[in-house]
């Protein structure tokens, strides 16, 4: 595994929707000139923490995820600006093999805690993704329609739900006021379709009943 991670700041908005809620016409969002074809992704993530929950206390999540264009090891840290994600390539372990956190990931977490790290949740997600592009083809945002099944590995409790997420891309408007306007319009489109703001700001929190 390479020791050089990739980092990005996620600025997103999440919504809860029912199983049959229709997807809005996202071309109504400011600046969006085209909506890409749906792309199906099957994601399988296992989340880890220390037995005493030190990562959660530090507003940090650790996961190993297979499937999708960004499969790999991820550390997500909550910040006032958004979620700062650092990613390493996937190791060679199988989906059901014992989890062993790679050394570069352990090094990145050392300021919070060292091992042991235990699997606290497994989250499987059937995702449909759409690219929302401007007139020049730049990615303003990605919209994903997620159908999620989760298991709290501490208790064995299972849950399932559907949620939507809009995450800003590199061609998103640079001004905070314009970003707010884009999300305000997204809120209106979701409400008109029958959706609502997400009750939880993360899939992990919802899987664990937080």
pLDDT at position 60: 96
pLDDT at position 92: 73
pLDDT at position 4: 77
3-class SS letters over 188-210: HHHHHHCCEECCCCCHHHHHCCC
Chain mean pLDDT for the chain = 94
- Say if residue 10 is exposed, middle or buried (CB neighbours under 10 Å; 0-12, 13-18, 19+): middle
Tell me: the pLDDT tens digits for 9-20?
899 999 999 999
Q: Enumerate residue ranges in the chain where pLDDT < 70.
A: 1-3, 93-97
Tell me: the pLDDT tens digits for 165-191?
999 999 999 999 999 999 999 999 999
pLDDT at position 113: 94
pLDDT at position 3: 59
Domain assignment present for 108: yes
Domain assignment present for 1: no
Tell me: the pLDDT tens digits for 149-165?
999 999 999 999 999 99
Tell me the pTM: 0.91
Question: Tokens for 150?
Answer: 């989760």
pLDDT at position 96: 67
Distance CA 169, CA 157 (A): 35
pLDDT at position 94: 62
User: What is the number of structural domains in the chain?
Assistant: 1
Domain assignment present for 18: yes
The three-state secondary structure class of 145 is strand
Domain assignment present for 69: yes
pLDDT at position 82: 87
Domain assignment present for 194: yes
Domain assignment present for 146: yes
Whether 199 and 161 have beta carbons less than 8 Å apart is answered as: no
What CATH number does the domain containing 67 carry? Answer: 2.40.320.10
Domain residues for the domain of 87 are 6-207
């Amino acid at each position: 595994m390479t020791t050089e991670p990739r980092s990005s700041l996620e600025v997103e908005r999440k919504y809860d929707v029912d199983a049959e809620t229709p997807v809005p016409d996202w071309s109504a969002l400011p600046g969006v000139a085209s909506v890409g074809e749906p792309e199906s992704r099957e994601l399988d993530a296992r989340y880890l923490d220390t037995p005493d929950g030190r990562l959660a206390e530090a507003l940090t999540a650790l996961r190993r995820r297979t499937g999708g264009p960004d499969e790999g090891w991820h550390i997500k840290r909550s910040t006032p600006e958004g979620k700062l994600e650092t990613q390493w390539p996937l190791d060679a372990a199988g989906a059901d093999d014992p989890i062993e956190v790679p050394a570069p990931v352990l090094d990145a977490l050392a300021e919070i805690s060292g091992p042991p790290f235990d699997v606290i949740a497994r989250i499987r997600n059937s995702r449909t993704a759409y690219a929302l592009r401007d007139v020049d083809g730049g990615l303003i945002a990605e919209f994903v329609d997620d159908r999620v099944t989760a298991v709290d590995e501490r208790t064995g409790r299972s849950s399932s739900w559907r949620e939507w997420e809009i995450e800003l891309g590199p061609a998103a408007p640079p001004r905070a006021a314009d970003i707010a306007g884009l999300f305000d319009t997204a809120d209106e489109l979701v409400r008109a379709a029958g959706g609502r703001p997400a009750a939880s700001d993360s899939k992990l929190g919802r899987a664990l009943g937080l």
